[in-house]
Amino acid sequence: MRTLNRNRPIKEEEIWTLETEISHAEYDLGFIIGQPPEAGFVRRRIANEAKMEVMRHASTFLHPSLANDNGDWPAPEYALVVLNQHLPRFAPLLWQRAKLRLCADGGANRLFDGMPELLPDEDPEKVRVRYKPDVIKGDMDSIRSEVMSFYSDLGVKIVDESHDQDTTDLHKCINFISDCTAFSDKANLRVLVVGALGGRFDHEIGNINVLYRFSNMHIILLSDDCLIYLLSKVCHHEIHIQSEVEGPHCGLIPIGSPSASTTTTGLQWNLDKTGMHFGGLVSTSNMIQDGLITVHSDSDLLWTITIRKPS
């Protein structure tokens, strides 16, 4: 049962969520007792949907020529987090985009070793000096001592949170970014996380869990092969496809909870008020059909799309 703390103001999204849950309960009850849903259900459902914010998404950060072409959208600001997995080939591009750059513990090893490998025609030491993070944060059980000394000598801020074993290193970094005052408008902040996928499955699930723990932030998990982000149920979503760098395979995953109703446009196999849950239908191996994808769901969903290899 959902409860609210009466000692604090109720947020608008909580009101919307409660109204929606009550409407769904009324709807289901009507069928259980053999009576059609009342007109009030329909009116409330339409009113709730009408006041939902439209959230726009675009992977322009992967496309050098489109990175600052946002039309009438506010220009996004980027933070970059490097985790302890293989650096994707486009890491130098994301580094250029980012205003703040963090390594999560062993991610510093990956940056130290991997960035010179991505830039083989340059002197490795000069590359390491040029691509030094602003912050290294985590429980410090993975970073090599020589890597820590190297970055410490360059003046990199190192935050040891080994006392906190209840949150992941990515969680710790997102907390730091959330509290950072360097960004003028947090609504336009995009957090790019590289090394988030691949390796141990429990680490991947931990990274996905961070998307739900910080559902009010725009966090994109990236690997060489694909990207993942959360589509919150409190918004309608418009996904503007950058066909030169992403697609065509995609998916919508109801990993947090089942979806009773999801509707999409722009996919080869669209959903029309379709239910999804594990043990039943899950929209994997779908395909992009149009340049604009729209998604509306009564449940939080993960959006994933492949990243194109260079031709």
pLDDT at 39 over 60: no
Nearest to 82, CA basis, from 227, 222, 212 = 222
Are 306 and 246 within 8 A, CB to CB?
Answer: yes
Residue 7 pLDDT level (bands cut at 50, 70, 90): low
Q: What is the pLDDT of the chain when averaged over all its residues?
A: 86
Dihedral angle at the C-alpha atoms of 216, 101, 307, 215, nearest 10 degrees?
-10
Question: CA 248 to CA 103: how far, in whole Å?
Answer: 31
Q: 57: number of CA atoms within 13 Å, CB side? A: 25
H-type alpha helices, 191-310: 201-213
What integer is the mean pLDDT of 259-284? 96
What integer is the mean pLDDT of 193-219? 95
What integer is the mean pLDDT of 249-256? 95
Task: Write the DSSP symbol of residue 267.
Answer: B
What integer is the mean pLDDT of 254-278? 96
Position 183 scores a pLDDT of 82
**Tally of residues, the chain:** 311
Residues of the chain with pLDDT > 90, as a percent, come to: 72
Position 197 scores a pLDDT of 94
Of 43-57, 64-78, 134-148, the range with the lowest mean pLDDT is: 43-57
Record the tokens describing residue 152, joined without a space. 């410490």
Position 50 scores a pLDDT of 52
Q: Name the packing angle between helices 201-213 and 169-179 (round to 10°).
A: 30
Sign of CA dihedral 65, 70, 75, 78: negative
Domain boundaries, the chain: 12-51, 73-224, 225-311
Position 21 scores a pLDDT of 52
Are 172 and 194 within 8 A, CB to CB?
Answer: no
Are 278 and 257 within 8 A, CB to CB?
Answer: no
**Bridge pairing between strands 274-276 and 283-287:** unpaired
Per-residue pLDDT reduced to its tens digit, 150-193:
999 999 999 999 898 889 999 999 999 999 888 878 888 999 99
SS3 60: helix
Residue 51 pLDDT level (bands cut at 50, 70, 90): low
Are 84 and 110 within 8 A, CB to CB?
Answer: yes
Residue 66 pLDDT level (bands cut at 50, 70, 90): low
Residues of the chain with pLDDT > 70, as a percent, come to: 81
Position 251 scores a pLDDT of 98
Burial of 239 (0-12, 13-18, 19+ CB in 10 A): buried
What integer is the mean pLDDT of 38-59? 62
C-alpha distance from residue 75 to each of 64, 183, 188 (Å): 14, 12, 7
Question: CA 288 to CA 247: how far, in whole Å?
Answer: 7
What integer is the mean pLDDT of 7-26? 48
Say which residue, 47 or 103, is predicted with more confidence.
103
Position 2 scores a pLDDT of 44
pLDDT at 264 over 70: yes
Residue 12 pLDDT level (bands cut at 50, 70, 90): very low
Residue 17 pLDDT level (bands cut at 50, 70, 90): very low
What integer is the mean pLDDT of 108-133? 97
Q: Does domain 73-224 have CATH number 3.40.50.300?
A: no
Q: Domain spanning 225-311: which CATH class is it, in words? A: mainly beta
pLDDT at 4 over 70: no
pLDDT at 261 over 50: yes
Strand partners of residue 296? 263
Record the tokens describing residue 218, joined without a space. 């725009």
pLDDT at 97 over 90: yes
pLDDT at 266 over 90: yes
| Residue whose structure tokens are 């591009």 | 93
What integer is the mean pLDDT of 278-297? 96
Residue 133: asked if its preceding bond is cis (omega within 30°), the reply is: no
pLDDT at 43 over 60: no
What integer is the mean pLDDT of 279-306? 97
